Structure 1
Amino acid sequence: MIHATGFITKLMTVRFLICALFIFCVFCVKLYGVVENRNAISGRVSCETHPDKLSIYGSVQVGYAKNSIDSPTREIQHLENSDQTWHVLRSDNGSHILLFSAYRIFVGSKLRLVIVGIEKCPTADHSRQCEFRGEIRVAKGPHERALTAVILHRRLLPEHHMKDYKPVVYGAEIAASFHTQDITVRFVNGPDVSHSVTLRIEGVPKDNVYTFVMCLGPLRSTNDQYPGRIVEWVEFNRLMGVDHIFVYLTNASSELREVLRYYKNKGLVTVLNWTLPVESDIHNFGQMASLHDCLYRNMGASEFLVNVDLDEFIVPRGGYRNWRDWIENVLPAAEYQIGSSVFSSRSDKDTTGYSSNISRVYITVSLIHTYRRLHVYTNCERTKYIVRPECAHILGIHCVHEFAQCSAGRSVVSADPGKILVHHYRGYSTDTARGVRVQDKTMLRFANKLVKCIENAWEKIQTNPRQHFTLPINELWTNYERIMNEL
């Protein structure tokens, strides 16, 4: 009986140990899953205060998905309509990294990998160039991988206005023999290794397939993005020789989407989803980041890149018919910097000088406002520019900040305002020193062609403004004044 009791006691002890071991294993598995899930969502990011550099480590969630608005196949894969999505890395100390796109580009004779994003790192010295340490794995076969270590250098873009979130570009030099499309990226912090992600690197055409491309955005659903403004702006720029426009869209009304869909179907517009995960604390919805994304996706694809806003029109003067006509009559340059003048968009309506009255139906701002300030902005003050993409290293809103090595060097042509001028249509005060007005009817040279193009476009767009503007003319102008006063 004693032996039986001892045997039972030992058996119970073994069962207890087995159960305890099982419970411990289950606990470990669940804990590991929680940690893995936390890392997958927030990434491992650390901001280290250092006098010379900031090291950022984390899993890089970068994608290149196709757009739900813009998905038709195009002849040039690099210029397909696409939907970049922001991928967020967060840390417990309040640091965020948001990545948008990645490209493989040539800078001179050197091949580089570049990643466009924005970041928030409050403890960092944002005035310094920093390092983003990582590894790139290149897939050679179904199960074979070759490891290549790289350092991605972090470059803070200018004109961030000291907002919490700032635009950045990460870059690394890679071998000229690096031709793979798919790579796996991971980031290392000492013994810690982040999750790996697969990244599709978009190549860049070697030969220019376009002459002029434009970068527009970020666009938001406000009154000045009324669909008629888009049609007027696109049709004028087509007359000037623009081949393609990249629109960075944060949100839009159904009418605006119909307009963009029409131009997308014609192969004139690529719409990119620029819905930022952060609603504020970044200057102008991350315009500097979108501008550099536009630059990289057009290196090798276009001879010239043009940066203007929706309320700006680069208008040739002095008999020039379009932008190419003007450029061919000035010295070759890396950048053509064009002065601007403000046209009042709140008053001084004038429809004389051309026969068609349809501009009153479609509210063509550029044709019914002919009074501007006498003052012309120059020397990077509210100027806009036309640049050769391969010559640009760091762009700005009003001029190029840094040039890359190219055949045109770092030459800049400052345009003669009598030959070409940016018409900036916005409200202005006449009681300032710069408020002296002059009448300028240069735009009316293009009125008949422009009005015809606008009318043809609206005949094909499903959302026709005649459905929305069928009021008597007096009520129409009252409604127009209300819209313009809200700008």
Structure 2
Amino acid sequence: MFVMGHNQLPPHLKKFRRLVYISPVITILSLSLLVWTYSSDMTFQFITRYYHATSDPQTPVQFTLPLHRGPGQMGPEEQKLSLMAVNGTKTVLVAAYQEHRTGQKEVRIIAVVLRSETVAYRCLLRCQEQLRISEGVSTTHSDHFGFAYGTADIMCPLPLGCETASHVTVISAASDSNDTQIQEFLEVKNQKVQSDSFPYNFVVCLSTMFDFTNVLQLVQSLEMLQLLGVNRVVIYKTSNSPETQRILDYYIYKGFVEVIPWSLSKFVNVSRGWLPEHGPGDLHYLGQIPALNDCLYRYMYQSRYVALQDMDELILPQSVNSWLELVPLLEMKYGEDKCYMFENNVFPNTVSLPPPTSQTLPPPSCCPGWENVSGVNILAHLYQEPIITETHYTNFKIIVNPRAVFSTSVHGLLSSLIDCSWVDRNIARMYHTRASRQTELTEDELIYDGRLLSYSTKLIPNVNAVFRESGLLPEGSIQ
């Protein structure tokens, strides 16, 4: 923060200083002390608020942070996730969390394991600066989609006298005892239980990002989530285009997106398909399931609700406009702090038809400049495939109280303290803008749904503002 220097005082204050020496010196020192007691975060927030409050609204706010990095370099404030291989095994440790909901004090380690391998694990825990040892118990999640590797929980009981463990790691019980001195450790998170007054109402956990180039839909989805009342979006990222990274950097600095580098492919041959026959590899879809489980535990005591979904999916209320308004309706109908399942509706991104003439909302004729951004424009795809028996209760996504969940899969929960309830499609449903699933349908068999357009008056200028402020599009190309 800028503080006025001694020689920069205006003339009339210099004259006043010559008359009175002691009081101004004390005042300046006091003000300086107060200024420098502010943290850098507070300073940045103050400057940002002041700039936006005093700037001409027609003047674009340019995003001037460093945007070009080499392969493997982390973006601004990206969160590091220290994946660790367990020597002598095929096990990879993802993250560790204190477990408060079971009958004994223990640490839960989210891991990826070779399902055919039998390993006796030994947990090394740092307790009050001492190294303690306990026997780890591993349970492999039931959803692995037939791949050789799967997600697992390794439970590490805290030994007698160990009230809390700050760090933990795992070795094979068959390892040399000297290994205990050379191990890397995971920080044990979720040390404190939180039952109310959460920092966030809604956090969205998105599936893994790999070779991602769909920039337009990414921006539209992130802006839609903000309109819906989401406080934070968490993305597990392996690789993406430079344009995508520019957008991610923008949202990271805005504080809306948390990007976690997802380097599991360095340890396991991950598949790009969701079944073994859909693509080579040893682990389901880029390690999507361990990422979702980590995200759920990461925000277990930070967010009242967590939504598990994909980048091309949006859960839209039908009678209200935000999740903040939707959740009271769900809690009243299905119960509080539960798991809510939303029916999947596919909107083929290959079909662009105008709305029926009876509809009052015309098709959006926007937006100049968007054609120069790679990706799908969700506002141009307003026709959904009909719901059929084969797909009616598949590919749904959930909003859930994370403190009631022990393990999750892509679609629904594996182990929890609660049941999930299907949400009436007239209350809310999921809009999935993607490639067609029912490829044999003709255009007249598709069903128009203009719900998304009701957000367009706010969505369009917000998307344009992101392109303008991030510098992704030249100023003159956006209206």
TM-score, L = length of structure 2: 0.70
Q: Using the alignment, how far apart are the partners of 1:435 and 1:106 within structure 2?
A: 54
1:273 equivalent to 2:261? Answer yes
- The counterpart of 1:339, out of the listed 331, 339, 343, is 343
1:353 and 2:362 are equivalent in the alignment = yes
Aligned-pair CA distance for 1:293: 0.5
**Is the 8 Å Cα contact of residues 103 and 203 (structure 1) preserved in structure 2?**
yes
Change over 3 Å in CA distance of 1:464–1:154 after alignment to 2: farther
- Residue 71 and residue 179 in structure 1: after superposition, are their counterparts in 2 closer, same or farther (change >3 A)? farther
Alpha-carbon distance, 1:146 to partner: 5.5
Q: CA separation of 1:306/1:183 partners in 2, compared to 1, >3 Å: closer, same or farther?
A: closer
Structure 1 gaps of 5+ residues are 1-66, 73-80, 125-130, 405-409, 471-487
Aligned to 1:328: 328
Is 1:203 the equivalent of 2:207?
no
Which of these residues, 160, 164, 167, is aligned with residue 179 of structure 1?
A: 164
Between the aligned partners of 1:303 and 1:162, the Cα distance in structure 2 is 33
Q: C-alpha distance in 2, partners of 1:137/1:205?
A: 18
Task: Tell me if the contact between 2:121 and 2:170 (Cα under 8 Å) persists in the aligned partners.
Answer: no
Q: Secondary structure at the match of 1:217?
A: strand
Match of 1:238, SS state, is: helix
CA deviation map 1:120-178 (0-9, x unaligned): 25455xxxxxx74314343545xxx363x322221212331221222222123437962
| Count of matched residue pairs | 374
- What is the Cα deviation at residue 288 of structure 1? 0.4
CA shift, 1:466, in A, is 7.5
One-letter amino acid of the structure 1 residue matched with residue 405 of structure 2? A
- Could you say what secondary structure the match of 1:172 adopts? strand
Structure 1 SS opposite 2:144: coil
Aligned to 2:83: 86
Alignment partner of 2:425 out of 417, 420, 430: 417
Which segments of 5 or more consecutive residues in structure 2 lack a partner in the other structure?
1-71, 270-280, 356-360
SS in 1 for 2:440: coil
Q: Report the Cα offset of residue 324 of structure 1.
A: 2.3
**Corresponding residue number in structure 2 for 1:112:** 106
Contact persistence 2:223–2:463 (CA under 8 A)? yes
Matched, 1:157 2:137: no
Contact 1:206 1:301 in 2 (8 A): no
Cα deviation, 1:391-426, whole Å, max 9, x if unaligned, reads 11121211112213xxxxx24321111111111112
Q: Matched residue of 1:189: which SS?
A: coil
The residue identity in structure 2 corresponding to 1:171 is M
CA distance in 1, matches of 2:85, 2:175: 22
The verdict on how the C-alpha distance between 1:412 and 1:100 changes in structure 2, with shifts beyond 3 A counting, is closer
User: How far 1:339 moved relative to its partner?
Assistant: 0.5
Q: Distance in 1 between matches of 2:224 and 2:146?
A: 35
1:54-453 equivalences under 5 Å are: 69-70=74-75, 72=77, 81-89=78-86, 91=88, 96-107=90-101, 111-122=105-116, 132-138=120-126, 140=128, 145=130, 147=132, 149-174=133-158, 178-183=163-168, 186-189=171-174, 194-196=179-181, 197-199=183-185, 200-204=187-191, 206-207=193-194, 208-222=198-212, 225-275=213-263, 276-277=265-266, 278-279=268-269, 280-317=281-318, 319-330=319-330, 331-333=334-336, 334-350=338-354, 353=362, 357-358=366-367, 361=371, 365-375=377-387, 380-404=393-417, 410-428=418-436, 429-431=438-440, 436-453=445-462
SS across alignment from 2:100: strand
- Which structure is larger by alpha-carbon Rg, 1 or 2? 1
SS at match of 1:342: strand
Identity of aligned residues (%): 19
Q: Call closer, same or farther: CA 1:139–1:304 in 2, change over 3 Å.
A: closer
CA contact (8 A) 1:304 1:389 kept: yes
CA distance, structure 2, for counterparts of residue 272 and residue 325 of structure 1: 30
Q: What is the TM-score of this pair, normalised by structure 1?
A: 0.69
Structure 2 CA distance for partners of 1:450 and 1:137, relative to 1, 3 Å: closer
Partner residue in 2 for 1:10: none
CA distance in 2, matches of 1:389, 1:465: 42
C-alpha separation in 1, matches of 2:209 and 2:175: 42
How far, CA to CA, are the matches of 2:296 and 2:426 in structure 1? 29
Contact 1:354 1:448 in 2 (8 A): no
Amino acid in structure 1 at the alignment position of 2:241: S
Given that 2:86 and 2:171 are in contact with CA atoms closer than 8 Å, whether structure 1 keeps it comes out as: no
Structure 1 pair 386/358, CA: closer, same or farther in 2 (3 Å)? same
Q: Which moved more, 1:102-111 or 1:204-213?
A: 102-111
Distance 1:156 1:247 in 2: 24
RMSD of equivalent CA atoms: 3.1
Point out the more displaced range, 191-200 or 448-457.
191-200
